[in-house]
Amino acid sequence: MSNARDYYALLGVLRDASQEEIKRAYYEAARRLHPDTNRAPGETEFFLDIQKAYEVLSNPKRRAEYDQTLPKADTPSLPVNVQVQYSRPNLVRMNEPQLVYVQLDVRPRQQTDKIPAPPLNVCLVLDRSTSMKDAKMDLLKAAAIQVLKSLRPEDIFSVVTFSDRADVVIPASYQVDTKRIESQIRMIQPSGATELYQGLEAGLEQVRRSRDPSRLNHLILLTDGHTYGDEQACLNLAAEAAVQQIGISGMGIGADWNDTFLDELAGRTGNTSQYIARPQDIQRILSEKFNELTRVFSEEVTLDYTPTAGADAAYAFRLQPETGPLKIENPLRLGPILQDTHLSILFEFLVQPAALNTDLLRILEGHLKVAIAARPTPLPPMRLQFSRDVGAEAGTDPPPITIIQALSRLTLYRMQERARNEVQSGNYEGATRSLKNLASHLLAQGHQGLAHTVMLEMENVQRQQAFSSSGEKDIKYGTRALIMTEGM
């Protein structure tokens, strides 16, 4: 559909982009594609094209001349469809803060020529510290071998193990001789401590070696322990990976890993962490993850926005895929779209009275960027605006049922978050009350098992002023799983 010579498309900006936007898009592309940092074939040529595009568009005179040569702007048929729903028809002028919920859905548009899922470039980063010994290690190896066997011929795969140092077990390459690779995986021996940074750095290096914008570049980290002292360095690595469009997913095995940290790490690239309660589940969950990677339509949707004074995004949560809370930052990394699972985000905005001196409040204005690996040129960003009329009276329309349903389940997850925060700040009484409320909702909805866990943790908090580390994760990922399962 797109003309390779379209400079706007090359830079991924709209036809009416400002000079500032063009400059920013160029810097971003340069950072991503500069020949010094890039070894993937074809990218240098691509970078030269982008440079040419920038030379023309950054000069207003040459840009005007170039615009003359373009065919009349026809609205390009975007491959995604964006839907925005609000919890209320309007905002009300009042002297106290008010809430509005906004649900954003981004769906692949049904097209006659389906965009195929891109080939993978995936690195498995496996914790082989002493704590992984025996059954856990064996099950992990079996899971890795299972994944190896499910690869398609066009996929690039690598394996890195780490303890207090990292080893490249399988360098990034097409996997031709699976028998040999399989025996290499079987030889992994557990020993040493957990130093995540080592593994993450070596794993990212493998992904970068064959990084290619037309592939899905991803790292999957499996660990069962805490890392000490290198958290910030790891987060910095993840932020760098995000710029290069490399995704990071985290999987924690058992009770003794830091879920808050792993969530934050994966969150830097718009992904999330998963909890593997029992080693027997490693294989299933890892296979599901791989299966998900082969169904990716867009590896990442980001939202670049201008915040509105007095209308703050107080909370943002990805309902699907990869259910989990979003870190409020700019740009917002919203997450991936799968071919069969669209992206759905629920925002909570807190609107202050001072912002309401207008008839139409722009709650948020920005651009959505949808990265689709299988397309040669980036999509132009899409303008996105959340806005509501401001009136004297509240509208009478009830909130859309989808928002109520999502919130009814999200409320349980947030009660769990609240209880954890209360324990951390020493408010044990508050935490006990929150857990009690959570348990009664879970019981009423028929989730006896989870309600039971919550009640046990309530006792732990009362007696020991702390959660048990397994119970804490059972509740967090259990309430998260409720958001994923539709219906009742």
Query: Judged by CB under 8 A, does residue 142 bind other proteins?
Result: no
Q: How far is the CB of 62 from other proteins (least distance, A)?
A: 50
Q: Position 161: which residue type?
A: T
* Residue 325 found at the interface with other proteins (CB under 8 A): no
**What is the dihedral sign for C-alpha 269, 271, 276, 282?**
negative
The residue length of the chain stands at: 488
- Under the criterion CB under 8 A, does residue 172 sit at the interface with other proteins? no
Contact mark string toward other proteins, 426..455, x via CB under 8 A = -----------xx-xx--xx----------
Q: Does 87 bind other proteins (CB under 8 A)?
A: yes
Residues 6 or more apart whose Cβ sits within 8 Å of residue 232: none
Q: Are strands 90-92 and 120-127 parallel, antiparallel or unpaired?
A: unpaired
User: Taking CB under 8 A as the rule, does residue 364 contact other proteins?
Assistant: no
Instruction: Give the contact letters, 335-354, x = binds to other proteins (CB under 8 A), - = no.
Output: ---------------xx---
Q: Does 402 bind other proteins (CB under 8 A)?
A: no
Q: 187 or 488: whose CB is closer to other proteins?
A: 488
SS3 232: helix
Q: Given the complex with other proteins, which of 262 and 363 has the nearer CB atom? A: 363
User: Using the rule CB under 8 A, is 470 a contact of other proteins?
Assistant: no
In whole angstroms, what is the distance from residue 345 CA to residue 337 CA? 11
Binding flag, residue 69, other proteins (CB under 8 A): no
Task: Give whichever of 206 and 416 is closer to other proteins, judged by the CB atom.
Answer: 416
Give the C-alpha separation, 431 to 38, whole Å. Answer: 50
Rounded to a whole number of angstroms, the minimum distance from the CB of residue 484 to other proteins is: 12
Give whole-number Cα distances, 31 to 10, 26, 320, in Å: 15, 9, 30
- Please choose, from the candidates 168, 172, 157, 160, the residue with its C-alpha nearest in 3D space to the C-alpha of residue 127: 160
Residue 243: what are its φ and ψ, rounded to 5°?
Answer: -60, -35
Phi–psi pair at 311, nearest 5 degrees: -130, 85
486 contributes a contact to other proteins by CB under 8 A: yes
Q: Least distance (Å) from other proteins to the CB of residue 439?
A: 11
Q: Does 423 bind other proteins (CB under 8 A)?
A: no
Residues within the interface to other proteins (CB under 8 A): 87-88, 91-92, 94, 96-101, 350-351, 394-399, 401, 403-405, 407-408, 411-412, 414-415, 418, 437-438, 440-441, 444-445, 486-488
